[in-house]
Structure 1
Amino acid sequence: MAEGQANPRVNASMLPRYEGCLVNLLGKVKSVDQNGTSFVLTSTDNIDIEILLPESLEDSVEGITEVIGSVCPNPRQINCHQYVNHGDIDMDLSLYDEAVKLSHEHEKFFPIMKTNSDNQ
């Protein structure tokens, strides 16, 4: 990734284009694995994504959460590098989803990392 470029903000339907790439995904925690090694995040476009953690959770994760991670070959999974738990804040996730879509439609105003298919 070029210096100064950010990870793309994506929704779940965009994940297949970013296999192996770092992305930012926002959603609402649906459930946490009883071992604390993963959790399910419902994305802003209402698709469940399994977030795989490098180590077991020490704190609770609930509500609105943003994940920074690498998209797995199965695009319904992300290897989490970092997450930020915002808790139960009042946020319009459908409006956020529209902003994510617009950022991809108007890339000259919102520079993002190239997808794997762009590099082929």
Structure 2
Amino acid sequence: MVDVMELPKSRINASMLAQFIDQPVCFVGKLEKVCGLSVLGSRSLDEEISGIVEVVGRVTAKATIMCASYVQFREDNHPFDLGLYNEAVKIIHEFPQFFPLGVVQYD
């Protein structure tokens, strides 16, 4: 299996998870609960993460994301507008001809 980090990834929101089963994705959301989280199942996280996180990984059959990497967004001075980001993701998928790097088609 090819490393998910080397593949093109679609930006998605939570409502799109079921449409991207077994595909590499980039997902931004608010982390509310962590249960035994590990990155690609190979190592436990060494830091506590919370708040807004960008996750790159592959969507599982249960419509969850197997994390390959993540970035925690700092919101010290400027809060991240998750609602605005969600609207941008919807627009990317509505008009993929204008955002070719935001939506990837796999056959």
TM-score by shorter chain over 0.5: yes
Whether the 8 Å contact between 1:62 and 1:87 is mirrored in structure 2 is no
What is the Cα deviation at residue 91 of structure 1? Answer: 1.3
Name the residue aligned to 2:4: none
Instruction: Mark the CA change 1:110 to 1:6 in structure 2 (over 3 Å): closer, same or farther.
Output: farther
Measured in 2, the distance between the counterparts of 1:86 and 1:31 equals 16
* Partners of 1:31 and 1:14 in 2: CA distance: 20
CA RMSD of aligned residues (A): 1.7
1:28 positional shift? 1.0
Structure 2 vs 1, CA of residues 17 and 73 (structure 1 numbering), >3 Å: closer, same or farther?
same
Give the TM-score normalised by structure 1.
0.72
Q: What TM-score does the superposition give when structure 2 sets the normalisation length?
A: 0.80
Match of 2:80 among 87, 91, 100: 91
Counterpart of 2:32 in 1: which secondary structure?
A: strand
Shift, 1:87, TM fit: 3.3
Q: What 5-or-longer segments of structure 1 have no aligned partner?
A: 39-51
Match of 1:80 among 59, 67, 71: 67
- Among 15, 36, 52, the alignment partner of 1:64 is 52
For residues 5-36 of structure 1, the C-alpha deviation after alignment (integer angstroms, 9 at most, x for no partner) is: 84111001111111111100001110222xxx
Decide which of 104, 108, 112 is 2:93's aligned counterpart. 104
Amino acid at match of 2:73: H
Paired residue total: 95
Normalized per residue, the structure richer in strand is 1
- State the identity %: 37
Instruction: Give CA deviations for 1:25-65 in whole Å, capped at 9, x if unaligned.
Output: 001110222xxx32xxxxxxxxxxxxx63221101111110
Give the Cα separation in 2 of the matches to 1:15 and 1:62. 21
| 2:104 aligned with 1:113 | yes
